Structure 1
Amino acid sequence: MKITLRDVAAGDLDEFFRFQQDADAAHMAGFAPTNPNDRSIFDHHWSELLNDEKSLVRTIDADGQPAGSIAVFRDGDVHEVMFWTDKQFWDQGITTTAMDLFLDEFTPRPLRARVVVDNVGSLKILESRGFTEVGEEQVFSNARAEVVTEKILQLN
């Protein structure tokens, strides 16, 4: 399978919205909008992200099909990376390859990521790429309707 990163196309957003509807994926990620079925909230979030000149946003493409997204944005003075892969593409190395491609393209460091402590797959990807834990934070998860612990990881 050929994995590439590309600019987000308008049609990708429909796929990303569909990906967000998967309750298992939202639970694993630990975050979701208060109402994940509200397309206007989704569109507003993506419009802000795509129009922020300090952000870099890519579609993860698997053999010509959108498989997910990966992006970096500024959180205060720190760059933070986030990614989402559709559940049908889990456990195939797609997200790992996408992360490698993204880290080759986006080189400023330090780079942070936040991951719910039980999201073993995402932790494995980040730690195998050199991210190390620099803290933890208790945050409310809409997807889980409870407070969860997020690991804060950093790549220097």
Structure 2
Amino acid sequence: MGPAEVTLREVRDTDLPLFHAYMSDPESVRMAAFTAEDPDDRAAFDAHWARIRADSSVVLRTVLADGEVVGNAGVYGPEGDRQVMYWIHRAHWGRGYATAALRALLAAVPERPLHAGAAADNTGSVAVLRKCGFTVTGKDRNFANARGELTDELLFTLG
């Protein structure tokens, strides 16, 4: 059996319970570091997703691997400071899904530059960004809700 086919599609209402489960997994939250203040707060999650889904400048996609919902990816932010984000369910880490999803997203959203940030010790996310052509353009140290402490962050740009 070969690698899974990774595709993107529009986010559906039925994806949201899965996204909430994925994005409130304690190990995933710790790795991501810069997360919602309380990832378990479903009402805050729903309000956030309603707000970003209503914003026409935000590009959101559901990530599928062989037709199974495995995460989400998107582009958001004001012109000149557009950010990419992605979240893959921990059960699917290490299979190349995040890289494939980000590559598909970058092909669908041709605007540049795009920016991203990752906790400096999140080696998986750092590798995904580098594989997709992002380069480190800065470093920062910010409070990470998921860790309850200041955390080193790498800042990336794709020109």
State the TM-score bracket (shorter-chain normalisation).
over 0.9
Superposition misfits of 4+ residues, deviation over 6 angstroms: none
- Matched residue, 2:24: 21
Maintained 8 Å contact 2:140/2:152: yes
TM value normalised by structure 2: 0.94
Maintained 8 Å contact 2:60/2:75: yes
Written as runs of structure 1 = structure 2, the 5 A alignment for 1:113-124 is 113-124=116-127
- C-alpha distance after superposition, 1:72-91 (max 9, x if no partner): 00146311001100001100
Q: Unaligned 5+ residue runs, structure 1? A: none
- Matched residue, 2:33: 30
Maintained 8 Å contact 2:99/2:131: no
Residue type at the aligned position of 1:22: D
- Matched residue, 2:81: 78
The answer to which of 26-35 and 7-16 deviates more is 26-35
The answer to which of 6-15 and 126-135 deviates more is 126-135
Once residues 35 and 111 of structure 2 are traced to their aligned partners in structure 1, the CA distance between those partners, rounded to angstroms, is 27
Instruction: Count the aligned residue pairs.
Output: 156
Cα RMSD between the aligned structures? 1.1
TM value normalised by structure 1: 0.96
Deviation of 1:134 after TM superposition, in Å, equals: 1.1
Aligned partner of 1:64 among 62, 67, 89: 67
Whether 2:150 is the aligned partner of 1:147: answer: yes
Aligned partner of 1:135 among 115, 125, 138: 138
For residue 17 of structure 2, give the secondary structure of its aligned residue in structure 1. helix
- C-alpha distance after superposition, 1:95-137 (max 9, x if no partner): 1111111111011000000100000011111112111111112
Deviation of 1:44 after TM superposition, in Å, equals: 1.0
Q: Unaligned 5+ residue runs, structure 2? A: none
Residue type at the aligned position of 2:56: E
